[in-house]
């Protein structure tokens, strides 16, 4: 089977595209022992992430089963998840 | 489970049987190289250290040299010095003597110059080589192995394929009572909570936070923010969003087991299992430190393709994707790209890496060894005058 996207941990709320994916594509992603079907709302570049479910502003982004940052706006299922809608929580020298 | 290695007098087990030509100071580097070229069955290195080191730096460099020259993969070492340096062959030899390591010394000033030093060095190297031929491989339990892990030229897939696959192999070795070194302190920043959560005790957990804080303090002292460039623009373009994401992908190569100890650069672990070595992320500097800490095999994952080897220890290279494997086949031992195609699982690639570790430990040459890669660099604290 040729994967389109990978999820490394059952608690993850994002998947990583392992080939270029097109807006409107329906992607079936294996997660834990099940499968989630996601309709992409945007094209996703190779190596980039998209949301597996609706993520609210302020909610944590989970990859590898761990927090990799926090949503800075509401993110819809199937949307591109990257620096435009996620902030890192660590190493914020710009914050007191 | 067993591998075939060489028993040394200090009880440690080697995976190779090298004669090493080692200059203790840069002033002896050329002579060491000349001896190495004249006796090609030996391994020689060069470096810019050995003199002018202040305080802690002297101890730091000396510890690394002693760990490297006394490594169980070294059957015998020819220490080459000048005569007026800070770190003399005699200083290193004094440390090696107690371990039973076989050494010989040649000093350029005492021999009366380059030509005579090279002649004497050639004879001593030949003698050490002859002695080394008597060593035979025997079966030892894989609990005797210390595996070094490293990654470089990483891409967005390293954290999805090659690193977790190496983590599977690391867990397998730890289950067999072996030891695994996780290193590259800058790439622990953002993943401390995960690592500290797996610490064997509070002391280990605290040490993990201390070494990453010290790495940040170093960057601040230099007037730069280490996090201003992490993730790098290239990382971001490739899909990595935050520092946490990058580090979480990097630390997967150490597996998922309990972290037993945190050791300094080139310090030998006293615990078995997963151990963190505090080191810069520089590929060759990190490898040299892990070797001086006792690693007999290193696995190095790469996304962009890195030809790196090490002078006395085999380095197995694992690619994160099919593209780099196809482009740099002569450098890569194992391709983890099949995980993306769905032709292999992380577990199955991990099992292949584990099998390769045992076979390489038992004598099979890696691509880097076949090509003659032997990159060598010692970490400097910068305290030199």
ipTM here? 0.95
Of A31, A45, A29, A35, the residue nearest A80 (C-alpha)? A45
- Residues of the domain holding A35: 5-87
Instruction: Answer yes or no: are the C-beta atoms of B352 and B334 closer than 8 Å.
Output: yes
The one-character DSSP state at B199 is: B
Cα–Cα distance for residue pair B24/B334, rounded to 1 Å: 35
Q: Which residues of A touch B248 (CB under 8 A)?
A: 63-64, 66, 68
Q: Is residue A94 part of a domain?
A: no
C-alpha–C-alpha distance, residues A13 and A25, integer Å: 18
pLDDT of residue B229: 63
Q: Left, alpha or beta for B220 (phi > 0: left; psi -120 to 50: alpha)?
A: alpha
B341 contacts A87? CB cut-off 8 A: no
**Separation CA B316–CA B193 (nearest Å):** 29
User: Which of A88, A92, A93, A95 would best serve as a mutation to test chain B binding (most B beta carbons within 10 A)?
Assistant: A88
A1 touches B at CB < 8 Å: yes
Separation between Cα atoms, residue B163 and residue B22, nearest integer Å: 33
Q: Is the dihedral of CA B103, B266, B63, B108 positive or negative?
A: positive
Residue A19 to residue A29: CA distance in whole angstroms: 13
Name chain A contacts of B241, Cβ cutoff 8 Å.
49, 61, 68-69, 81-83, 86, 88
Choose among B194, B225, B238: nearest Cβ to A47: B238
CA-nearest residue of chain B to A62? Answer: B245
Is A88's CB within 8 Å of B241's CB?
A: yes
| pLDDT tens, per residue, chain B with 385 residues | 999 999 999 999 999 999 999 999 999 999 999 999 999 999 999 999 999 999 999 999 999 999 999 999 999 999 999 999 999 999 999 999 999 999 999 999 999 999 999 999 999 999 999 999 999 999 999 999 999 999 987 777 889 999 999 999 999 999 999 999 999 998 898 899 899 999 999 999 999 999 999 987 877 777 766 656 667 777 788 788 888 898 999 999 999 999 999 999 999 999 999 999 999 989 999 999 999 999 999 999 998 889 999 999 999 999 999 989 999 999 999 999 999 888 999 999 999 999 999 999 999 999 999 999 999 999 998 887 7
Q: Which residues of B touch A63 (CB under 8 A)?
A: 245, 248
Architecture of the CATH domain B140-371: 3-Layer(aba) Sandwich (3.40)
Tokens 């500097």, residue?
Answer: B285
Give the number of A-B residue pairs with CB atoms closer than 8 Å.
Answer: 83
pLDDT at A67 over 80: yes
Instruction: Give B69: exposed, middle or buried? Use CB within 10 Å, 0-12, 13-18, 19+.
Output: buried
> Closest Cα partner for B300 from B107, B163, B141, B145?
B163
Rounded to an integer, what is the distance from CA A35 to the centroid of its chain?
15
Q: Residue B52 — left, alpha, or beta (φ > 0 → left; ψ -120 to 50 → alpha)? A: left
**List of chain B residues whose C-beta atoms are within 8 Å of the C-beta of residue A93:** 225, 227-228
Q: Is residue A39 predicted with pLDDT exceeding 90?
A: yes
Q: Characterise A83 by phi-psi region: left (phi > 0), alpha (psi -120 to 50), beta (else).
A: alpha
**Partner residue opposite B248 with nearest CB, options A18, A68, A91:** A68
Whether A82 is covered by a domain: the verdict is yes
Q: What does the alpha-carbon distance between residue B351 and residue B345 come to, in Å, rounded to a whole number? A: 10
Residues A90, B340: C-beta atoms closer than 8 Å: no
Interface residue of B163, B198, B239 to substitute, partner A, most A CBs within 10 Å: B239
A96 located within any domain: no
- The domain spanning residue A38 has which CATH number? 2.30.130.110
Q: How far apart are CA B36 and CA B48, in angstroms?
A: 17
Q: Taking 70 as the threshold, does the pLDDT of residue A96 lie above it? A: no
CB contact under 8 Å between A8 and B227, yes or no, is no
**Nearest residue to A74 via CA among A41, A38, A47:** A41
Same fold flag, B18-132 and B140-371: yes
Residue in A2, A46, A88 nearest the CB of B243: A88
Query: What's the pLDDT score for residue A2?
Result: 62
Residue A16 to residue B244, Cβ atoms within 8 A: no
Nearest to B152 by CA among B294, B291, B279: B279
Q: Is A57 inside a domain boundary?
A: yes
Q: What is the DSSP letter of B267?
A: P
| Residues in chain B closer than 8 A to A5 (CB atoms) | none
| Closest partner CB to B194 (pick from A48, A66, A89) | A66
Token pair 């060069």 in the structure block, residue: B46
Q: List chain B domain ranges.
A: 18-132, 140-371
The answer to whether B87 and B23 have CB atoms below 8 angstroms apart is no
Question: Total structural domains in chain A?
Answer: 1
Residues, chain A: 96
The pLDDT score that the predictor gives to residue B356 is: 98
Residues of B within an 8 Å Cβ radius of A: 155-157, 159-160, 164, 189-191, 193-194, 216, 225-228, 230, 236, 238-245, 248-249, 252, 339-342
Q: Which of B190, B239, B242 sits opposite A48 (nearest CB)?
A: B239
pLDDT at B222: 75
Q: Is residue A67 part of a domain?
A: yes
pLDDT at position A3 is 79
The position carrying tokens 């002579």 is: B31
Contact B242 A2 (CB under 8 A): no
Extract the tokens encoding B284.
């060759």
Per-residue confidence (pLDDT) for residue B220, from 0 to 100: 72
Residue B296 vs residues A75, A88, B284: alpha-carbon distances, Å = 48, 37, 15
**Using alpha carbons only, how large is chain B's radius of gyration in Å?**
21
Two tokens, residue B154: 């990483």
The answer to whether domain B18-132 has CATH 3.40.50.10440 is: no
């Amino acid at each position: 089977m040729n994967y389109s996207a990978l999820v490394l941990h059952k608690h993850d709320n994002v998947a990583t595209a392992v080939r270029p994916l097109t807006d409107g594509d329906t992607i079936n992603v294996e997660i834990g022992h099940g499968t989630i079907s996601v309709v992409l709302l945007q094209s996703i570049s190779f190596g980039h992430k998209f949301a597996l479910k609706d993520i609210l502003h302020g909610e944590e982004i989970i990859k590898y089963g761990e927090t990799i940052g926090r949503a800075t706006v509401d993110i819809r299922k199937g949307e591109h998840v990257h620096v435009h809608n996620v902030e890192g929580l660590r190493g914020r020298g710009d914050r007191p | 489970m067993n591998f075939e290695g060489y028993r040394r007098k200090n009880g440690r087990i080697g995976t190779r049987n090298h004669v090493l030509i080692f200059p203790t100071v840069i002033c002896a580097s050329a002579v060491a190289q000349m001896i190495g070229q004249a006796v090609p069955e030996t391994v020689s290195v060069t470096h810019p250290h050995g003199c002018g080191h202040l305080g802690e730096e002297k101890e730091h460099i000396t510890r690394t040299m002693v760990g490297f020259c006394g490594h169980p993969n070294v059957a015998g070492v020819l220490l080459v010095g000048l005569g007026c340096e800070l770190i003399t062959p005699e200083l290193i030899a004094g440390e090696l003597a107690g371990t039973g390591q076989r050494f010989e010394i040649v000093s350029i000033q005492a021999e009366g110059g380059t030509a005579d030093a090279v002649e004497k060095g050639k004879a001593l190297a030949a003698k050490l080589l002859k002695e080394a031929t008597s060593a035979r491989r025997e079966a030892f339990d894989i609990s005797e192995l210390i595996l070094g892990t490293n990654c470089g030229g990483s891409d967005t897939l390293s954290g999805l394929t090659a690193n977790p696959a190496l983590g599977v192999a690391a867990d397998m070795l730890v289950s067999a009572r072996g030891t695994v070194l996780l290193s590259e302190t800058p790439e622990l920043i953002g993943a401390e909570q995960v690592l500290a959560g797996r610490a064997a005790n509070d002391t280990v957990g605290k040490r993990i936070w201390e070494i990453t804080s010290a790495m940040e303090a170093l960057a601040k002292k230099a007037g730069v923010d280490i996090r201003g460039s992490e993730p790098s623009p290239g990382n971001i373009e490739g899909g990595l969003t935050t520092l946490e994401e990058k580090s979480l992908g990097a630390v997967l190569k150490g597996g998922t087991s309990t972290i037993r100890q945190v050791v300094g650069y080139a310090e030998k672990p006293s615990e078995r299992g997963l151990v963190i070595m505090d080191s810069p992320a520089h590929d060759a500097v990190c490898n040299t430190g892990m070797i001086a800490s006792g690693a007999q095999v290193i696995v190095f994952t790469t996304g962009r393709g890195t030809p790196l080897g090490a002078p006395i220890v085999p380095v197995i290279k694992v690619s994160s994707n099919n593209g780099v494997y196809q482009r740099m086949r002569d450098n890569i031992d194992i391709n983890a790209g099949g995980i993306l195609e769905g032709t292999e699982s992380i577990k199955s690639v991990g099992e292949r890496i584990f099998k390769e570790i045992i076979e390489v430990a038992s004598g099979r040459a890696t691509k880097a060894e076949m090509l003659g890669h032997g990159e060598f660099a010692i970490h400097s604290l910068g305290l030199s005058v």
